């Protein structure tokens, strides 16, 4: 269970976007000071409809920010769910390898490296790196595939087909093995969709124009109503409005290296550790004799009957 955060983290450290946000707050505060110092004499000359215009702009801006934030978080949560699928199917492949396949030690080690390396290959591809040599266990492999995750999945498919032809894996076991490998490739395609599909440029432009217009117009109305207090109020408005936009910009592609992105390296380490533990804890299957029937393995698992509850 994840530990509950301490109260101090509500205040410190600042959000990761602060390194980009502080300059916007500084510019907004300086502009508000300039309006207060040099523009107070013009406040009485503002047209009567200017306050209503600022209110309408604020309402439209709120709708745009809400839609933008929802779209960005949907992409982030999609990425999280897809990596959960990668983890689950990798563990299932390791369990099938450990208990359904009468593979040689060499084949077991190769399959374990392929399963554990698949997540690393996917992470690297999503981050712009597509070399097989960057995958643990394949540093000396001379192959140069155009799509490393697909290459590793193809080798997993080929292993399953060879085990079946050699009588080391029965047909239901092969179907189960193939299903997990296909699911891994499905996750790759969906991750690439999230990473490579941009947010529409027109929506970005409208939102940023609205934020800029708010930054320019708001101090005039706030100073007229609040006087010098308008300066910290304007800084607070900019902190939240621009902060939400910058956060959405950070998380709309959740597969990078920023602090707000998904911890892909942690996920990959967990997959490789789990695969290694599953294969290490399982009894080494014999390499001779009749292959273990997957149906027999499933039937041998004890079930809880109503009388035992």
User: d(Cα 303, Cα 309) in Å, to the nearest integer?
Assistant: 11
Domain boundaries, the chain: 50-283
- pLDDT-based confidence at 5, cuts 50/70/90? low
Quick one: average pLDDT of 143-172? 95
N- to C-terminal Cα separation, the chain = 27
Q: Which range has highest mean pLDDT (11-20, 202-211, 237-246)?
A: 237-246
Long-range CB contact pairs, 81-87, < 8 A, 24+: 82/187, 82/190, 82/191, 82/194, 83/187, 83/191, 83/262, 83/264, 83/267, 85/183, 85/186, 85/187, 86/118, 86/119, 86/122, 86/184, 86/187, 86/267, 86/271, 87/119, 87/267, 87/270, 87/271, 87/274
- Whether residue 220 contacts residue 35, with contact meaning beta carbons closer than 8 Å, is answered with yes
Give the pLDDT confidence score for residue 158 in this predicted structure: 96
Give the pLDDT confidence score for residue 299 in this predicted structure: 42
**Among 17-21, 213-217, 304-308, whose mean pLDDT is lowest?**
304-308
Give the pLDDT confidence score for residue 294 in this predicted structure: 45
User: d(Cα 197, Cα 77) in Å, to the nearest integer?
Assistant: 15
**Among 3-12, 30-39, 241-250, whose mean pLDDT is lowest?**
3-12
Selected residue with higher pLDDT from 106 and 297: 106
User: d(Cα 244, Cα 24) in Å, to the nearest integer?
Assistant: 13
Give the pLDDT confidence score for residue 295 in this predicted structure: 45
CB within 8 Å of 134: residues ≥ 6 apart: 120, 121, 124
What is the percent of the chain with per-residue pLDDT over 70, rounded to a whole number?
82
CB within 8 Å of 270: residues ≥ 6 apart: 87
What are the structure tokens assigned to 240, written together? 């939240």
Give the pLDDT confidence score for residue 203 in this predicted structure: 81
**Among 34-38, 120-124, 246-250, whose mean pLDDT is lowest?**
34-38
User: d(Cα 53, Cα 18) in Å, to the nearest integer?
Assistant: 30
Give the pLDDT confidence score for residue 241 in this predicted structure: 87
Give the pLDDT confidence score for residue 226 in this predicted structure: 76
- pLDDT-based confidence at 303, cuts 50/70/90? very low
Cα-atom radius of gyration of the chain, to the nearest Å? 28
- Whether residue 184 contacts residue 114, with contact meaning beta carbons closer than 8 Å, is answered with no
pLDDT in tens, 186-237: 999 999 999 998 888 888 888 888 888 888 888 877 777 778 888 888 888 8
Give the pLDDT confidence score for residue 41 in this predicted structure: 64
- pLDDT-based confidence at 17, cuts 50/70/90? confident
Ramachandran angles phi, psi of 87, nearest 5°: -65, -45
Report CA-CA distances (Å) from 87 to 110, 123, 194, 239, 269.
Answer: 18, 12, 18, 37, 10
* pLDDT of 288 higher than 50: no
Quick one: average pLDDT of 250-273? 93
């Amino acid at each position: 269970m994840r530990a509950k955060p301490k109260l101090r983290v509500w205040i410190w450290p600042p959000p990761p976007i602060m390194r980009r946000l502080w300059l916007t707050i500084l510019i907004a505060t300086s502009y508000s000071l300039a309006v207060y110092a040099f523009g107070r004499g013009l406040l009485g000359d503002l047209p009567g409809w200017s306050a209503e215009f600022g209110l309408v702009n604020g309402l439209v801006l709120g709708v745009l920010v809400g839609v933008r934030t929802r779209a960005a978080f949907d992409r982030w949560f999609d990425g999280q769910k897809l990596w959960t699928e990668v983890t689950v199917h990798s563990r299932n492949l390791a369990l099938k390898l450990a208990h359904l396949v009468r593979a040689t030690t060499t084949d077991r080690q190769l399959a374990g490296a392929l399963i554990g390396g698949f997540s690393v290959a996917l992470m690297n591809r999503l981050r712009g790196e597509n070399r097989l040599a960057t995958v643990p266990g394949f540093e000396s492999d001379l192959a140069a595939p155009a799509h490393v995750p697909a290459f590793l999945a193809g080798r997993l498919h080929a292993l399953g087909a060879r085990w079946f032809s050699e009588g080391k894996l029965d047909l239901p076991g092969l179907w189960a093995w193939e299903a997990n490998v296909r699911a891994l490739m499905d996750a790759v395609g969906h991750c690439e969709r999230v990473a490579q599909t941009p947010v529409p440029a027109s929506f970005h432009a409208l939102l940023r124009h609205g934020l800029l217009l708010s930054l320019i117009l708001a101090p005039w109305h706030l100073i007229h109503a609040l006087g010098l207090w308008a300066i910290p109020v304007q800084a607070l408005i900019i902190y939240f409005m621009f902060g939400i936009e910058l956060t959405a910009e950070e998380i709309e592609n959740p597969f990078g290296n920023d602090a707000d992105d998904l911890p892909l390296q942690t996920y990959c380490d967990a997959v490789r550790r789990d695969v290694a533990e599953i294969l290490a804890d399982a009894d080494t299957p014999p390499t001779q004799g009749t292959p273990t029937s997957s149906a027999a393995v499933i039937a041998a698992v004890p079930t809880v009957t109503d009388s035992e509850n």
